[in-house]
Structure 1
Amino acid sequence: MRNLILSAVFATAGLIGGLAQAAEPEAGKQYVELSNPVPVSKPGKIEVVELFWYGCPHCYQFEPTITPWAKKLPDDVNFVRVPAMFGGVWNVHGQLFIALEAMGVEAKVHDAVFAAIHKEGKKLADEDEMADFLADQGVDKEAFLKTFNSFGVKSQMEKDKKLAMAYQITGVPTMVVNGKYRFDLGTAGGPEQTLKLADFLIEKERAAR
């Protein structure tokens, strides 16, 4: 009887150990390791990129999870949002985001833009509609229109398009850690698991220094 109990204990311990070992994320399963790493924007820091689109419902649903997480990241981690631009309204919304960043007001109106599209049914698909909406949020209308159509914003759009191509993304939301590891809600297993995976890869990069 004692031997049976011990066998059961060892079997259970072995099963738990096996599950714990299997739980560690693996390249090719929960994430993809890019064959050509992409340079980070701030050398010396571990970069976490979220590629998103204002019109994406999954990105909107991910916001309440990723935003508080990003605010608590340590000083050696640089969190960056990059708009994915696959043409059409994707590009217009990407231009909107970049213009808001250039004006230094993106953090102030980011949630409002998402809510306008997904809760209020606004398209925000042309610059006049955007300018009118942003004016209600306290953003100077003329300053926005000038920035939206500026050379600097259009140049940044081209850079972000090339960045998304280098990351080889096919949809959003997608995350990339340190220009090396790409994953999304589907491969990671959900919003919370996505951020746990990000934490794992951040620590992996930190340990490799």
Structure 2
Amino acid sequence: MRNLVLSAVFAGLSLFGATASAEDIQAGKQYVELGSPVPVAQPGKIEVVELFWYGCPHCYQFEPSILPWAEKLPEDVNFVRVPALFGGLWNVHGQMFLTLEAMGVEDKVHQAVFSAIHNEQKKLATPEEMAEFLAGQGVDKDVFLKTFNSFAVKGQMEKAKKLAMSYQITGVPVMVVNGKYRFDLGSAGGPEGALKVADHLIAKERASQPAAAQ
């Protein structure tokens, strides 16, 4: 499964091309409209989900583009990261992310985890290895290990698996806007293109809101 997913990622990324202008962004080209909309985490806000894996090189390369973009999103937009769980190391890393999120420290160490895996060749394949590394980032080892094995985190793992199935993803990185529109870097024309598609779909969703709510 892992090799199939990675093959899908590389195949999609080979489709990089010129970034489409706003008027050229269309369903079936840069993005897919899901047959059944997926409920959002915060009703009333336009949701943007990024599905990723810490071990994915393209997710890591996407960070310098998506991070500053996400930080500047307006108040009516809710940006959410969701780990893709395809088994093996994907699940282990996903559980690490959800643990850090539950502890409220994910934003502080997100980049350090990516860098450790891709620049320092750390696998972070066991909870103990993760805890040791994260201790150097100011994360309490004992609290991390306790949270990692908690019922709450296991529940979030199940939720993440169900979301990925609902979004019908086959690789990462993938973005989903408001539970309705899915696209990846290949279909959108690269990192810059993906963010332009996201902006376009955010505007589309905002324009569709009832006038009374605006």
TM-score (normalised: structure 2): 0.87
Structure 1 unmatched runs, 5+: 1-19
SS of the residue corresponding to residue 200 of structure 2 reads helix
Task: Find the counterpart in structure 2 of residue 84 from structure 1.
Answer: 84
Q: Which residue of 2 aligns with 1:167?
A: 167
Number of aligned pairs? Answer: 190
Alpha-carbon displacement from aligned partner over 1:58-111 (angstroms, at most 9, x marks no partner): 000000000000000000000000000000000000000000000000000000
1:136-151 equivalent positions in 2, closer than 5 A: 136-151=136-151
Distance in 1 separating the partners of 2:60 and 2:137: 19
Deviation at residue 203 of structure 1 after TM alignment = 0.2
Compute the displacement of 1:22 (Å): 8.7
Q: Is 2:150 aligned against 1:157? A: no
State how far apart, in whole Å, the 2-side matches of 1:142 and 1:172 are: 31
Distance of 1:40 and 1:90 partners within structure 2: 23
Distance 1:91 1:128 in 2: 15
* Structure 1 residue aligned with 2:124: 124
**2-side partners of 1:44 and 1:23: how far apart?**
27
> 1:195 is aligned with what amino acid?
L
Which residue in the other structure is 1:48 paired with? 48
What is the CA–CA distance in structure 1 between the aligned matches of 2:122 and 2:180, rounded to whole Å? Answer: 36
1:85 is paired with a residue whose SS is coil
How many angstroms does 1:34 deviate by?
0.1
Q: What SS class does the counterpart of residue 82 from structure 2 fall into?
A: strand
Normalised by the length of structure 1, the TM-score is 0.89
SS of alignment partner, residue 192 of structure 1: helix
CA deviation map 1:176-200 (0-9, x unaligned)? 0000000000000000010000000
Q: Does residue 66 of structure 2 align to residue 66 of structure 1? A: yes
Q: Which residue of 2 aligns with 1:10?
A: none
Q: Tell me, in whole angstroms, the C-alpha distance in 1 between the residues paired with 2:108 and 2:22.
A: 41
- Which letter does structure 2 place at the counterpart of 1:84? A
Please tell me whether Structure 1 or Structure 2 has the larger radius of gyration of its CA atoms: 1
Shift of 1:24: 2.0
Identical-pair percentage:
77
